[in-house]
Structure 1
């Protein structure tokens, strides 16, 4: 029976390279992988099954990711970064969608446990406040949490600096001459929404600008929330000259509502978003927003989880990626007249 050593000799590579190709434990170039696979085929090599390997090594080289469904493309872009990073690291990914339901999350965790995944990536911010029983199930496995609020589980956390992002977004509007600035927050029970709102308030205070409570509307992080927010602003009197929306989806809904009413963006109303989803630059006008490094968020989560799997005794870490303003067409300089 042929061995990996036989394949390595025929393919002209090291035994460890053969192992990585066959077990898919590390990315190997297509040219080398083809040589190894051709040599294995020529020698009639039969690899041990994944199940047999998992019992021998106590690893399945599989990660589980649990996400909350949303119309927001942000989540899909982060998942793409996770999936690609898993592939390059030689891991498989099983993705479960909770649809914002705590029972589905429990069922998904049970399923992934039965699949013997090596670790979990959690991206389920809509379940904040409901996680104590759920996370008890995860005490025995490595866990990385993405974009969740403060939790008691000692685990690694990957997040964007939402406080800094909200501050930068508002400061950009102020630098463009705006003094009457409104804010559409996300649901304020959500950690990221609260931090972005705190950043908005910090920038306004730093510039000695008053926050008009009539110009602060709580949204839902979806397009509909931004769309409905315009009517709430109008019900409270005149519009501000600029509005910071807590994510791009709400900014898109706001712009759509403004267009329907003949309010020109940015001539009559400047709009600032947050996330820099792929669609943001293709809107009319293109959306000025705060960029979140979504691929890097996904990669950082995979890197942290693999490190945690290898070294479970190290202290939990918080990886915080810095946001940046992306200037496009939805914010105009305010010259003092409207």
Structure 2
């Protein structure tokens, strides 16, 4: 493998001149720079990323941990992270925790040992864990996405789930619905709890009643929505509308309703949450709350890189606002 010394010998210049040309660290005349570049090309020289990282104390690499899920929401956020890394000239190492606490901690240790410049965590099923390994790497910034309260220092990127749940329920009310159910995610998770709180706030504002038979806690997956609908169905009369706290569960609800001969939205209106790509291609297309998934990923990368430049110790919470997307799964009642 060719070295800078080999290039210097072929180009008849000093090794330091070769370094300045390769790293663009000082002005070198065009003639000399051309000789150096031609020699590098002739020798098939490739700069050592390891050597450069030792010199600059940067690897130009970020690490990201996610939990496996059938929910395309996570894939759409990761796509935003990957695209932003590419645009900023960074590589991304992606690790899957599969919801396992020990695997998450081992993956974090591995990424830190590989000297990543920063880390993004998107493992909300493990919120509230104290990850003490970060104490040994205080110079590595961490950004957490879609997570609740943390026991370690990091910046946080999240959508305003309280407002999103309120928007969803308020839309149902404005469409004439007064009997409104809710299928929540796991209420020990911060974002699920906040969406449910938004639902309750909207009902309270209008003085509408809560019906325990129409409020079901589930798991944010299709099968959870499917099972939750059957539990509501078995308890007696259905509400006229249900706020389903993510699009994946809404898909399960629509499937279960169709099996029972219940037409959406004629007999039952459904509103989801996330606005995953497939939601507009469902039958009927799903009215939902849009999360800016690409911007979540982009903001996480930009926040990490800003921390690398400023070395700020102050943890920030950056909140992105959800919006209502009207489609065909909510009927207007007289």
Partner residue of 2:101?
Answer: 102
CA contact (8 A) 2:213 2:235 kept: yes
Alignment of 1:280-295 (within 5 A): 280-295=279-294
Query: Where does residue 177 of structure 2 map in the other structure?
Result: 178
Tell me the number of residue pairs that the alignment of Structure 1 and Structure 2 aligns.
311
The two structures have a TM-score, normalised by structure 2, of 0.88
RMSD: 2.2
1:5–1:309 distance in 2 versus 1, CA, 3 Å: closer
Q: Counterparts of 1:1-338 in structure 2 under 5 Å?
A: 1=8, 3=18, 15=24, 42=41, 44=43, 46-133=45-132, 136=135, 139-335=138-334
Query: Normalising by the residue count of structure 1, what TM-score does the alignment of the two structures yield?
Result: 0.87
For residue 315 of structure 1, report the CA deviation from its aligned partner. Answer: 2.0
Q: SS in structure 2 opposite 1:60?
A: coil
CA contact (8 A) 2:128 2:148 kept: no
Question: 1:214 and 1:136, CA in 2 relative to 1: closer, same or farther beyond 3 A?
Answer: farther
Taking the aligned partners of 1:326 and 1:67, their CA distance within structure 2 comes to 27
Q: Hey, what's the Cα distance between the residues in 2 that align with 1:325 and 1:167? A: 10
Q: Secondary structure at the match of 1:169?
A: helix
Q: Which ranges of structure 1 fall in alignment gaps of 5 or more residues?
A: 9-14, 19-37
- Superposed displacement of residue 312, structure 1: 1.6
Q: Is the 8 A contact 2:271 2:287 kept in 1?
A: yes
Between structure 1 and structure 2, the one with the greater Rg is 2
Instruction: Mark the CA change 1:142 to 1:275 in structure 2 (over 3 Å): closer, same or farther.
Output: same
Deviations 1:178-222 (A, max 9, x none): 000000000000000000000000001111111111110001000
Distance 1:272 1:45 in 2: 58
The answer to whether the 8 Å contact 1:7/1:43 transfers is: no
Distance 1:83 1:150 in 2: 26
Stretch moving more, 128-137 or 140-149: 128-137
After TM superposition, the runs of 4+ consecutive aligned structure 1 residues lying more than 6 A away are 38-41
Change (3 A) 1:39 1:334: farther
Which secondary structure state, in structure 2, belongs to the residue aligned with residue 217 of structure 1?
strand
Give the match's secondary structure for 1:150. coil
